[in-house]
Chain A
């Protein structure tokens, strides 16, 4: 019984010493970034596009998110927290498509709401998309998978392009 008492006393003393604090860190994004992915409207499969410039309408210096030399299959389209609407311009730079008339624009209308995520991820803005508009030159359609944009890293927007197989005369804009 004495041994038991000694063991209990030792464990009781060492328990706080052995105490370990856990910090999981932020496993998601630290801001709400809607992830967009590109698909072929004819096959429905994911596609990788190149020779395309994607830039925000009204961004300082018309800075591009994606340059013409980059290949992209999905990307984040950050919303403007000070506005209730954000527009993105898709310019095609491949041969035969490099005309301003063929540029597409995608516009999102949304409501902004501050949201406390956690100690590690902090506070963010969450966006509730209320409306989505787009031109249909080379973009066939835009599907909002989940209208609530949070910091969870998942595809929220699917953009379907008219691919070469389907488009017989891509030079002609389809407004």
Chain B
């Protein structure tokens, strides 16, 4: 039974460097893939048991473990390489999946070649038996395209999928160019200064908090109706512990209720390097829904966000800790 593309989504960074859409310093292949998957809808969380997640392109090795954490459901990650050939092979394999075909997620990240008109981009596809756009047509379309993985797929998507019953969304908005100083293509993962333990959260506790930090997963109390965030396993309102269930909170559309800009000297030590490189940064308090508030850094290269503004949120890199990047959501202007 052939699979079709049910939904497609792209993520192209807003930052423009000499006409090329370039990821910001706090983005990497993982955050770009996560953002594209998120845009498939419902946070990209696929229903059903153990769906496959095919991964192509330039994602850090840690993404193999972090992508299932981000989706919040058990998925089997399969790396299918980075070249267009491997993408085509992978999609061909999808097209002839055995019956009954489970849903398959596909995500590709292209960090571009650095040349003009070769932007950083991420593409996510959700393939099911009900998908309206046959995968083999996509494969045929990709024949003879150049080497980068997501680029041709993205161009295919923008030119083609818009006319199909699939959704295509992205940050790419022609004319909306935000010129900034060129950022390093990759920020090196440097160990913290030996004394920097400012936001030290031990790794097991960091991983425990991924649902709240990466997906804004709160808890709703069926006893009294209160929403708790972050979830603590006890209703803040009535104290119940046995009638709580996970409740996803909206990742976009929250309102800024307080805003500050941290100048040099006001930052915790783990952000010293970032401040040295990028200067002051914003932090906002955002009401996701009435009564549920979260503290968020403003994403790199975003303009200051004032009280009263509606904002979106994105997964971004925060700072290095224990030899790895720590990730969390940051606020971005809502389009």
Q: Say whether A associates with B.
A: no
